Amino acid sequence: MKLLEERILKTGRNLGNGILKVDGFINHQVDPTLMDACGKEFAARFKSVGATKVLTAEISGIAPALLTALELRLPIVYARKTKPVTMPDQVFLTLAPSHTKGRTIELIVSPEFLAEGDKVLIIDDFLATGQTILGLVRLAQAAGAQVVGIGALIEKTFDGGRELLSSVGVPVEALAVITDMTDGKIVFAASGA
């Protein structure tokens, strides 16, 4: 998606070690107009998968997932990383190693909001190692729901997430595909338009 790639080149920063700083428009400050365009693009790419619910992980997946869900007129559920007092005692919980945080995080969903019969479209900000998204897949499967698609704003192909997710057997879409971040570069895949 040209608009997102241009914004990454203009405002994003390659911090080295494969870390892309996008907190000027995705992660801390958010550009709602850009996120709305991304949500509409996801909605178009996944319009025929028959999703009944959009699933993401707090925190930075919320903006793109919410605007995708708004366009598709679906509810969105965000997996919590800590269990709030309002959640029932019995939950779906999985552990996912976080590359950027350097530790394992918990992903928690209440059985009130994910159930058998749900067709789940997973939307997140990054597809890097794929571990967070795979954690969301496990949560959906634990609930008896079916994953029907996976979308990420930004994919870093060199972290191998797409290969990890291939076993899920659903369409995986990324709006900006970065193939190389060595030596301060940010290189997009040719087909990313």
What gap in Å lies between CA 23 and CA 65, rounded to an integer?
A: 17
Q: What is the largest CA-CA distance in the chain?
A: 48
Q: Which stretch binds its own copies (CB under 8 A): 33-41, 133-141, 152-160, 177-185?
A: 33-41
What gap in Å lies between CA 21 and CA 10, rounded to an integer?
A: 12
Q: Which of 8, 43, 77, 140 binds its own copies (CB under 8 A)?
A: 77
Residue 38 touches its own copies, criterion: CB under 8 A: no
Minimum gap (Å) between residue 180 Cβ and its own copies: 20
Q: Which is nearer to its own copies, 73 or 183 (CB)?
A: 73
Minimum gap (Å) between residue 129 Cβ and its own copies: 15
Q: Which is nearer to its own copies, 23 or 171 (CB)?
A: 23
Minimum gap (Å) between residue 191 Cβ and its own copies: 27
Strand 20-21 relative to strand 13-14, pairing: antiparallel
What gap in Å lies between CA 9 and CA 29, rounded to an integer?
A: 17
Q: Which stretch binds its own copies (CB under 8 A): 42-50, 69-77, 121-129, 152-160?
A: 69-77
SS3 99: coil
Q: Which stretch binds its own copies (CB under 8 A): 14-22, 117-125, 163-171, 183-191?
A: 14-22
Q: Which is nearer to its own copies, 26 or 165 (CB)?
A: 26
Fill in the amino acid letter for 59.
I
Residue that the structure tokens 């509409």 belong to = 40
Residue 50 touches its own copies, criterion: CB under 8 A: no
Residue 87 touches its own copies, criterion: CB under 8 A: yes
Name the β-bridge partners of 156: 178
Name the β-bridge partners of 176: 154
Residue 58 touches its own copies, criterion: CB under 8 A: yes
Give yes or no for a contact between 166 and 143, defined as CB atoms under 8 angstroms apart. Answer: no
Residues whose CB is less than 8 angstroms from the CB of residue 84 and which lie 6 or more positions away in sequence, other chains included? none
- What are the tokens at 150? 């996976």
Query: Which stretches of the chain bind its own copies, using CB under 8 A?
Result: 15, 19, 21-24, 27-33, 35-36, 58-59, 62-63, 66-67, 69-70, 73-78, 80, 84-87, 100, 109-110, 112-113
